[in-house]
Each structure stands twice: as structure tokens, then as C-alpha cells.
Amino acid sequence: MGKGVGLPGLGCRKIEAVFADSQAKAEVGLSEADRLISQEKVVALFGAYNSAVTASASQAAERAGIPFFNAESSSPSLIARGFKWFFRTTADDRNFAENQFQFLKEVQAKKGTSFTKVALLHENTLFGTDTAKYQTEFAPKYGYQIVTDVAYDAKSTNLDGEVQKVKSSGAELILPAGYVADATLTMQTLKKLEVTPSGLLAMNAGYIEADFVKALQKDAEAVLSRDVWSLDLAQQKPMINDINKLYQAKSAGKDLDGNSSRSFTGFLVLADALNRAGSTDPEAIRKALTQTDIPGNQLIMPWAGVHFDAQGQNKDAIGLIVQIQQSKFRIVWPPNLASAEVIWPFPKWAGR
Amino acid sequence: MLQSLASGLMTGLVYALISVGLSLVYGLMDIVNFAHGEFLMLGMFTAFWCYNLLGIEPLLSWPIASAAIALVGILTYYLVVQRVIRGSLLAQIFATFGLALFLRNGAQALWSPDYRSASSIAKGNKLSFLGINLGWPEIVAGVGAAIAFTALYLFMKRTSYGAAIQATAEDREAAALMGINTNRVFAVGWGLAGACVGLAGALLMASYPAYPEAGVQFALIAYVAVALGGFGSVLGALVGGVLIGLVEVMAGSVVPEYKLVIVFSLYLLIVLVRPKGLLGAY
């Protein structure tokens, strides 16, 4: 792998990617997966982003005995199903929820604050609901109190009511989980209704997208989020800069982010497995996947490596906490990977 | 509470503006335009490209967006609807539904599914009074919608062409006998519908991103607003839109997970009690 063209293990044949759009809908994901398997005769499926879509599309793969490789969906329930043909490289929301509280504990100790009242504000599909579930599980263990749990439709055109509810709950910290359009709307509504949390710690997805920062400019400053990757890792892994340049060339100048970096990494892991399988037989590919052994220094991710456990989960994946500072994502946790000092508490809207 | 009312009112006015075009077309020719949401999406994209390529402030590009989508409406009439107007109901439904899919996927092919935001000078600024906070984009959208609505209403009720449209809506054959060129009236109706929704699209660009599926959520609300207010009634669209806006925001502050359930339950209740809708004539 690396030199030359194509996969050496398969006689230098090239991978052909057949694309299908799930439109972020679970039922479309399932029907597209079925179509790819039965009509396009793909040897493996790669996707999706939304956990809800991955959950249903992977069922088609499990039925058909085709490997389903997931790089970005973070719902823990995907692995808990115990599917034989499902593999995932990214860590999941249960780990991330705990990471969030570990970070809160450390940052409050460091900055001398003691906020305990938390509001959960999340979109209502699998991703948001599971996030809220795990945050509710870990909050009391770390001494935090969930004062309100607000679920909303990610496609909402208006979030005034939801934000009102958060405001009237007396929450000091807001832990949101949403996709990019509703995340942007949430921030705009928070500003409009003059709700200034002492800390805003999001769960990835919309809050770490380049479009989110672009739309909000200064209003995105000091937003914290669980993330899986940051361009700042280039300080420790210089190859990230080269790969980012390759990406920028194809993405009209956008930088890699947590989502694109995981897609990229995941696809290469799958390609590596296809290469080692030396055949397009599904069982051979599946076996090769279980034997994946990639060390951390070959990855642009902050993981210790890629090694799948018995359930198909990459046990070496970890999360990061980043903060938007001057429109850039800076790593603020864990301490050994931090690239900037955290801004805490969340600054007021006026005067930004 | 007051905040929810104010915000709901502004939102409702925009819903009303989006819905009135749908109501107008149905009243005129008994055809539900399933591509209405896509017209809105195109209006938003027109405003976005004016901003992106010409640097025009989104809240001021409404004449261009309005004119552009009025043209889209008229073209839709002549190229698509005119051919199915004498066909079966199913043919009419499929025609505009097919158009919706074509426009949605065309937009995705041309402009990618990425979310496109425009930066308005009004964005991020707000007006605060009596404990209420309203964003300026929201206020301009709501007030703009109200003005456009008034203009449309006056046009329909006070001008002779408006009377011609109403006459055609009431009885197509009789209007033709009176010398009204019904074909042209239909085209104008579609043009007006497009103009309203194009205007709404431009106003929305100050607050929302444009993307190929952007029209879907608003269109859903438009169908409900029109059915609730009464198909064919301009005032009905206003009442329906504002009612939904108010209920949605107020319910959102109490039971956000169920706010749409409450909106649709209200709709169901009204339609069960009064099938024509609150102000419906047909």
C-alpha cells in the first residue's frame, strides 16, 4: 500500500467507490444499502454519518453477509447489537459523554468555578437521544445536576421555545448535541434571547463543522465541544499538514475536520483490509478486518492505533475536547495533547 | 410568554407569506403545487447568489428573488401545468411532484448539498422592549411579510385584475364568458404565487442557510397552514400561518418534543369541525 496504484494484494486493482445518498433518513439508508448490495454488487459498505442511518443500513449488510464499515457514527447502540459484519473505527458517545464530565471536573478545578446545573439541549434522533442518555448517566457520578432535558427536531425552523425552556430552568452549563443547521440556529437563538451559559460544551456533529464557525463568526468564540480530531495535532504529527493540503485541493479550500478526517482514515483502514484479504470474498474481507493492526503513528487521528475488539469496535479510539478560539479549533483536553489554554467561563455575547 | 407571542407572530407572518401562493393557486385551479417548497428554496438560492456573486445584502435582494420566482411560477404554468390541467387528478399531482423532485435534485447537482449562509447586516442585532427580544432579521422578515400580504390583499380586492382572478377562481367558465382571458389569469396567479414565495425566500436568507432540501420543512407547514386557513382564501393563509407560528413557538417553550404534535392536532381538530378550513370557500 502506498507506492504505485491500486491494491497490491488484489493484483493492483483499483477500488471503485459507488456512492449512495441516504438524505440523512434511516429508511432511505436501508433501501440504498439493499440496492448497493443486490444491484451494484459491492464487496463492502462504507458509511454513514448519522447514527440512525447507519443503524438501519447496516442491517441490510448483516442480512446479506457483507462487511459494513463505519467511521463516524457515534451511537454506542450500534456496537451493542453484536453484529458480526459491523466494524467501527470511531469512539462512541458513551466514552465521549464521560470525557465531557472529566474535562468539566478538571477545568473547574483549574479555574476555580463550581457550576453544577446542566441543561441538555439535543436533537431527537438516535444521536441526540443517546447522547442525552449517557450524559444523564454520568452527570450525577461527577456531581452535576441535570436541571432540564430538551429534545427538539433537528429540522426545526424556530428554536425560541426550546431555548426559553433552557433559560427558565436556571441552568449554568449547556450541553447541546445537534447537527449544523440546528446548532447554528441554537447559537443565534441563545444570543437573541440573551442566554449566556457559564459554559457551553457540545457533543461534536454540527458544533465542529467549518460551516458552523463561518456562519457565526465571533458568536462561535469559546464554544467547547467534544471532538475527535483537530488540525492542531499537526504539531505532533506533521504529515497531517500534507494530507490537509491534499484535502484543500479537492474541497475548495476547506480544512479537514473531525468528520472528514475520520472518513478519510476509515476508508484507508478498509482499503488496508481489502488489500490483506487478497480477495473480494466477504468472509475473507471480514477476517482481514478483524486482524487489522495499524499503529498510531500511521494515523492522522489522535488514537493509539486501530485494533478491533470482538464486537467490531476500535478499542484504541479516544476523544478530545476542543474550543473555538479566533475561529480555529484548539485542543484543550486531554492535557497531553492540548494546544491552547481554555477560555472559561463562556464570555458574554455583548462585546465580542 | 410575551416573548413567545412576539416570536410566534413574526414566524407566523413568514409562514403566511409562504403559504399564500399555495392557497392562491389552489383557489384558482384546484391544483396543489407540490413544488411550492422548491420554489421557496430557489428563492433562497437566488438571494444567496445575489449575495455571493454581487454582494447584495440578503434583505434587499427581494425584488430580484421575487421577480425570479415569479418567472419560475409562470414558466411552470405554461410548461407543466397547462398540459395537465384537463388531465386526471393523479396526473396533476404527479406533474408538480415530479417538478419538485427535479428542482430539488437539480439544485443538489448544480450547487451541492452544502449549507450556504448569507451574512446580513441585520444578523446578530436585536431589538429589545418590554422584556421581549426579537432579532432584526426576524423583524424585517415578519414586517416584510405583513406588507407583502397587505399589498396582495389590496391587489386582489381593489383592482380589476384582482377581481378577474377572484372571478376565475369562483367559476372558470363564467369568467371566460365575461371576456376574461382565463389562461392569462392562471399564469398571473402562478406568477403571483412565485413572487410571494420568492420574496419570502429572500427574507429568510438573513436567518437560515440555503440548501436543496431547505424548502421541505417550510412547505410542510405551508400545506397545513393553507388547509387550516382554507384553500383559496388569502386571508385564510394569513390566519393559518400566524396560528401555526404562534402555536409552534408557544408549544416549543413548554413541551418542545411535542410541539409539532400540538400543531398538527390543532389542525386535525379544526379540519374535523370545519372541513373547509377556518376561512375556506371551497
Q: Does A251 contact chain B (CB < 8 Å)?
A: no
Mean pLDDT of chain A: 89
Confidence of residue A5 (pLDDT cuts 50, 70, 90): low
Cell 467507490 appears where? A17
What pLDDT, on a 0 to 100 scale, did the predictor assign at position A291? 93
What pLDDT, on a 0 to 100 scale, did the predictor assign at position A11? 67
What pLDDT, on a 0 to 100 scale, did the predictor assign at position A3? 53
Confidence of residue A1 (pLDDT cuts 50, 70, 90): very low
Q: What is the pLDDT of residues B42-68, one digit of tens each?
A: 999 999 999 999 988 888 899 999 999
**In this predicted complex, what is the ipTM?**
0.80
Q: What is the pLDDT of residues B174-196, one digit of tens each?
A: 888 988 888 999 999 999 999 99
Q: Which amino acid is at B281?
A: A
Record: contact A161-B256, CB cut-off 8 A: yes
Taking CB atoms and an 8 Å cutoff, what residues of chain B touch A180? 115
What pLDDT, on a 0 to 100 scale, did the predictor assign at position B16? 93
Judge if pTM exceeds 0.90.
no
Mean pLDDT of chain B: 89
Taking CB atoms and an 8 Å cutoff, what residues of chain A touch B221? 157
Closest-CA residue to A203 (of A186, A225, A222, A185): A225
**CA of A192 vs chain B CAs: smallest distance (Å):** 6
Structural element, H or E, at residue A194: none
Above 80 in pLDDT, residue A311? yes
**CA of A228 vs chain B CAs: smallest distance (Å):** 22
Record: contact B117-A155, CB cut-off 8 A: no
Closest chain A residue to the Cα of B4, Cα to Cα: A161
Closest-CA residue to A191 (of B101, B235, B207, B175): B207
> What is the rounded CA–CA span in Å between residue B92 and residue B104?
19
> What is the rounded CA–CA span in Å between residue A267 and residue A69?
8
Q: What is the pLDDT of residues B136-182, one digit of tens each?
A: 888 888 999 999 989 998 998 899 888 888 888 888 888 889 888 88
Above 70 in pLDDT, residue A4? no
Above 70 in pLDDT, residue A163? yes
Q: What is the pLDDT of residues A132-145, one digit of tens each?
A: 999 999 999 999 99
Closest chain A residue to the Cα of B14, Cα to Cα: A157
Of B4, B114, B218, the CB nearest to A160: B4
Whether the upstream peptide bond of residue A271 has omega within 30° of 0, thus cis, is no
Of A157, A180, A214, the CB nearest to B218: A157
Taking CB atoms and an 8 Å cutoff, what residues of chain B touch A151? 256-257
To the nearest whole percent, how much of chain A has pLDDT over 70? 97
Above 80 in pLDDT, residue A9? no
Above 70 in pLDDT, residue A2? no
What pLDDT, on a 0 to 100 scale, did the predictor assign at position B282? 55
